[in-house]
Structure formats: structure tokens, C-alpha cells
Amino acid sequence: MIITYAEAISAAIKEEMKRDKYLTLIGEDVGRYGGVFKATKGLFEEFGPERIRDTPISETAIIGTAIGSAMLGYRVIAEIMYIDFLMVAMDQLINQAAKLHYMTGGRVNVPIVIRTQEGAGIRNAAQHSQCLEAWFAHIPGLKVIIPSNPYDAKGLLKTAVRDNNPVLFIEHKKLYSTKCEVPAEEYTIDIGKADIKLTGQHLTLICYSYMVLIALEAAKILKKKYNFEVEVVDLMTISPLDKETIIKSVKKTNKAAILHEAPLQGGFAGEIAAIIQDSAFDYLDYPILRLCGPDTPVPYAPELEDFYVYTPEKVAERIIDYFRL
């Protein structure tokens, strides 16, 4: 069946709530309203207010409740409306959820999934549009999933719910309306495995989330104009990171570019570049290209925001100039 990203999220939660009668979903407007992006639509009517709980506007309360419930043996999906506001609950997430299993010698598990949204392009301005995934990938004990399409989102969310560790599940706002084929039957996807969305022999383009769609379109442009074949590697999970797939692809193509929406400085592209430098330097014909956002807040003015975000044409132009096609 062909469904949207939002519908895939809802389907994954529904299936897991049927499988585990103690699984609960909490967050702002996740109940009767169906979520601000309608990713929890219909769940309240099916599972009721005991399991689909609307919360006050308090990120600390949401994450704190999820952690406490998890320590008592319950699985919880907690939605934080926009990743920008996770910093309000950083102590709970970073110093408690991510560390309790380690600090208790394995006696306490924290099986929570924090769903949140990020990304520019829909006129949400500087405080609602950031891509902060690199912050959280830096934290041991916290898994970070960032899928690019409905199929991957559903399979990875189901796996995340079953994980005994805290998982941050990041959904780009521009992906909610995108569609693809998703099986009706049960399936899951392993956390920590990248996927090659397009094979090629001339360049490895490493990306994740909404930028995968941009990369695939840019690859079409380069193939048509220059017969230049791009291999698009979708990381899907950035912690744990599938280093083997990255290195194998770079050794094949001898060129590497990394694409993400977050700003260049301190962005996750730097980590990937270091891994390639450490493990595949002798295979590179060119220095590694980082295609990242500007080191500025996300603008609200439409013309400036359009300039801020990458398009397939911009990606193709940078690759053409950099690799002298």
C-alpha cells in the first residue's frame, strides 16, 4: 500500500500498541487533535485517554514522566513538539535517560522513544526550524534515528519501541506528506544500518532525513547532464553509525560528499569526514566535500529561507564545481 510518512508513523505506533497493551503515547496534542502534523491521528479514538495522553506544555514533565514510567517497566513513546524544545528537558534526557542503565550496572532499563520534528522550509522561523541531531549523537547511551521515507520510518520506529534503551526518533517536517510503498504485513528494520538508495561509481553522497530526497534528485541531474553516477548512502541512524557501509562505498567511488541541512560548524558531516579520513584516505582522489547549511539561524523571510535550504540544483552545482565536471 502507498501511504504518507505521517501515516507510517501512526501505523507503527498502532501496531506496537496492539502488540504491547502497556505501551503508552504522551505529548502535546497527540490525543484528540491527532498531533500537530497528524502523525497520531486516530490513535486516541482506538486506544482511549489512558494510553494516548495529552500533556501540559512542559517538556520536562513529558520526558520526566516517560523516564519514571520506563523505570517501572512500562514502554513509552513521548512526543516533543519540535526538537528545538528538547533543550528544555536536556537534563532528563542526557543526564538521566541516557545514563541510568550504565549507572545502575544494567539493573535499570529506560525503554522510551522520544519522537520529535526538525527542519527548515515551512516558514517556522529560527526557534522552530533547527536541525540539532549532532548534539544528541554525541551522547553515549542514546540512539538517534533519522529516517527519510515512510517505509524506513515505520520499520525503524517499531524497532525503536522494542529497544530497551532510550531512542531519539527525528522526523523532518517536510517529509510528513511524502509517500511510498509500505507493506501491510509486519516488518522491522535494524537500528544502526545504512541503506544505499542509489548505486553509482563516481561519487559517494552521504546524507540522511529530507536531504536524501534532495540527493536523489541531484543525482538525476548529474547523470543526465554529465553521465556522472552518484551513489546515495542514506545513514538512517546516526548513532549507532554504520561506518562499514560508508567506507565500502567511498573505496569504490574514490570521492566523497556529505550533505545535511544543519549548519557546517559542529555538524555531523565533520564526524563522517573524520571517519573517511581515518579509514579511506588512500582511496580518495579529491578532498571530502561538505554540503551543509549556513552558520546562521534559520531565517523567517521566505526569500531568505529559500536561500538557506538546499535544493537538488544547488547540490548538483556544488558537486559540478568542486569535482570539475
- Secondary structure of residue 267 in the 3-state scheme: coil
Query: Whole-angstrom Cα distance, residue 272 to residue 243?
Result: 8
pLDDT score at 26 = 98
Is 128 a residue of the active site? yes
Give just the sign of the alpha carbon dihedral 192, 194, 195, 197. Answer: positive
Q: Is the model's pLDDT at 279 over the cut of 90?
A: yes
237-239 sheet: strands from edge to edge? 52-54, 24-27, 76-80, 112-118, 167-172, 143-145, 237-239
| C-alpha distances in Å from residue 240, one per residue of 138, 146, 235, 236 | 10, 11, 10, 10
pLDDT score at 302 = 94
Quickly state the pLDDT bin for 173 (edges 50, 70, 90).
Answer: very high
Per-residue pLDDT tens over the stretch 207-241: 999 999 999 999 999 999 999 999 999 999 999 99
H or E segment at 251?
helix 243-253
Give just the sign of the alpha carbon dihedral 4, 24, 239, 91. Answer: positive
Instruction: Calculate helix-pair angle for 5-19, 150-162, nearest 10 degrees.
Output: 30
Per-residue pLDDT tens over the stretch 281-311: 999 999 999 999 999 999 999 999 999 999 9
Span 117-145, mean pLDDT? 96
Domains and CATH numbers, the chain: 2-181 (3.40.50.970), 195-322 (3.40.50.920)
Query: Whole-angstrom Cα distance, residue 86 to residue 222?
Result: 38
Query: Whole-angstrom Cα distance, residue 231 to residue 222?
Result: 11
Length of the chain: 325
Options 101, 128, 172, 202, the catalytic residue: 128
Cis amide bond preceding 147, omega within 30 = no
Mean of pLDDT over the chain: 97
Q: Is the model's pLDDT at 325 over the cut of 90?
A: no
Query: Whole-angstrom Cα distance, residue 251 to residue 257?
Result: 13
Query: Whole-angstrom Cα distance, residue 10 to residue 41?
Result: 7
The pTM of this model reads 0.97
Per-residue pLDDT tens over the stretch 18-66: 999 999 999 999 999 999 999 999 999 999 999 999 999 999 999 999 9
